[in-house]
């Protein structure tokens, strides 16, 4: 990974090592907090991410759904409930507003998904905000998927309607009503955060997200292709963002300070460690820097087809992040490293693998995480490592 060694280590270290740029561009505090809570959920590991609402794998993952779900504040959920139940006695104001909308004027999510932009926009113009909020809440409920297969089916119908249209372009969407646009983007991306009242992207940004000119990750929102990258993946994969998404699975998440993501030393694109292991992108090979000499465990980047070394990267991540990890995080990270280096043939990789396995076993047996953290850091600082790494450093500086 990009930060493993070299003269630029201090300068670029944190931003390159700590993946997806979400952290610098994180939206309001509540979002950050709740999103980082999600990252602790073991079910968000890429292996567990079976597309829930995907038609074509481009769209969002359950982890993204889950993350966006968590962005709804409690107060909002209460409002949502009120709107859905709208019939409660003590909620006269809202009810009377909704009642004033005649059946002929009412529109549904399916109407929005299938009817012309200007037609719906015109209708929405005359509908009270409360009615539009209710529509958004309906879609939010569908995207949350708590209603099981019924929600899933309805979502797939809506998404198919939206994605089969050729009239939804940057040009026509300029005429969309704000709520209409939010709903269309949320359906197309399968991400409910676009409906969140506190996340107000400009009309232009929403349109750009819809037409894949802007990253759908609300915490990133980079113009696409990010960094004007012209690699095959950035050029051809709709909606792919090299700053926050995995080259293999296209998904993003909110994990930082972790070995969960590997960045390419050469093109800086990111890959989930799990995806790389699963797809055989991590294997033994001649040193990434010299291309000759003894073999070591390497990461093969699918975006640029070059290889990056892994030992120095893992060491960097641990040295910077061990103090911040709790017990669960430390065990998870040791497990990543163990799985990365499991197939090592070289002595250093083998030793690291065995060290991780040993510490994991001891942690399971009750060893304090502070002791385990110290032990792995001492391991990395060992003489053998120091020699090895200083050798690599000088190579890169040259
Ligand atoms: Zn690229
Ligand atoms: Zn992005
Ligand atoms: Zn992935
Ligand atoms: Zn690369």
* pLDDT of the residue at 217: 94
- The whole-angstrom separation of Cα 384 and Cα 380 is 9
Q: Give tens-digit pLDDT for 85-115.
A: 333 334 444 444 455 667 777 899 999 999 9
Q: Give the C-alpha separation, 76 to 258, whole Å.
A: 32
Ligand 2 centroid from CA 93, angstroms: 41
pLDDT at residue 197, as a whole number: 85
Mean pLDDT of 15-22: 44
Distance 352 CA to ligand 1 centre (A): 32
Q: Give the ligand whose atoms come closest to the C-alpha of residue 223.
A: 2
Gap from CA of 311 to ligand 2 centroid (Å): 27
d(CA 117, CA 63): 30
Backbone φ and ψ for 223, nearest 5 degrees, come out as -70, 140
CA 255 to the chain's CA centroid: 8
- Over residues 217-228, the mean pLDDT reads 94
CB 339 within 8 A of CB 277: yes
ipTM confidence score: 0.98
Average pLDDT over residues 240-257: 93
DSSP label of 243 = T
Look at residue 103 in the predicted model and tell me its pLDDT.
73
Axis-axis angle for helices 347-364, 327-341 (nearest 10): 150
Collapsing DSSP to helix, strand or coil, 147 comes out as coil
- The rounded Å distance from CA 301 to ligand 4 centre is 4
Coil/strand/helix, residue 174: coil
How many helices (H) and strands (E) the chain has is answered by 20, 5
Q: Among 24-33, 232-241, 242-251, 252-261, whose mean pLDDT is lowest?
A: 24-33
Distance 213 CA to ligand 1 centre (A): 14
pLDDT at res. 386: 52
Q: Is the pLDDT of residue 261 over 90?
A: yes
Distances (CA, A) of 199 to 6, 15, 163, 170, 218: 39, 24, 24, 21, 8
d(CA 269, ligand 1 centre) in Å: 7
* pLDDT one-digit tens code per residue, 264-311: 999 999 999 999 999 999 999 987 566 667 889 999 999 999 999 999
pLDDT tens digits, 144-199: 988 788 899 999 999 999 999 999 999 999 999 999 999 999 999 999 999 998 88
| Residue 397 tokens, joined | 């500086």
Of 49 and 184, the structure prediction assigns the larger pLDDT to 184
């Amino acid at each position: 990974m990009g930060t493993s060694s070299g003269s630029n280590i201090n300068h670029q270290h944190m931003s390159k090592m700590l993946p997806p740029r979400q952290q610098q561009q994180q939206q309001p505090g509540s979002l950050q907090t709740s999103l980082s809570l999600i990252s602790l959920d073991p079910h968000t590991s890429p292996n567990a991410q079976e597309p829930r609402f995907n038609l074509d794998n481009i769209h969002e993952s359950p982890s993204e759904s889950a993350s966006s779900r968590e962005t709804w504040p409690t107060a909002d959920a209460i409002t949502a409930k009120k709107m859905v139940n709208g019939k409660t006695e003590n909620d006269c104001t809202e009810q009377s507003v909704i009642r004033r909308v005649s059946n002929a004027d009412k529109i549904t999510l399916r109407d929005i998904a299938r009817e012309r932009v200007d037609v719906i926009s015109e209708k929405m113009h005359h509908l009270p905000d409360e009615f539009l909020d209710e529509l958004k809440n309906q879609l939010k409920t569908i995207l949350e998927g708590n209603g099981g297969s019924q929600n899933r089916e309805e979502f797939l119908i809506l998404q198919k309607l939206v994605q089969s249209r050729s009239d939804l372009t940057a040009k026509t969407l300029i005429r969309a009503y704000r709520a209409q646009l939010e709903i269309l983007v949320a359906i197309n991306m399968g991400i409910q955060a676009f409906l969140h009242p506190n996340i107000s992207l400009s009309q232009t940004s929403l349109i750009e997200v819809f037409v894949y000119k802007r990253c759908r990750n609300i915490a990133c929102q980079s113009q696409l292709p990010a960094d004007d990258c012209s690699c095959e993946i950035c050029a051809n994969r709709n909606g792919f963002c090299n700053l926050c998404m995995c080259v293999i699975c296209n998904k993003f998440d909110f994990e930082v300070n972790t070995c969960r993501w590997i960045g390419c030393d050469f093109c800086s694109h990111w890959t989930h460690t799990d995806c790389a292991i699963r797809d055989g992108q991590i294997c033994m090979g001649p040193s990434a820097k010299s291309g000759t000499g003894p073999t070591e465990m390497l990461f093969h980047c699918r975006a640029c087809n070059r290889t990056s070394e892994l030992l120095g990267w893992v060491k960097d991540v641990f040295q910077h992040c061990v103090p911040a990890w709790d017990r669960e995080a430390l065990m998870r990270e040791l497990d990543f490293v163990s799985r990365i280096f499991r197939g090592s043939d070289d002595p250093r990789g083998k030793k690291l693998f065995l060290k991780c396995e040993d510490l994991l076993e001891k942690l399971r047996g009750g060893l304090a995480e502070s002791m385990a953290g110290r032990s792995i850091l001492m391991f990395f600082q060992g003489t053998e490592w120091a020699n090895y790494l200083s050798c690599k450093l000088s190579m890169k500086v040259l």
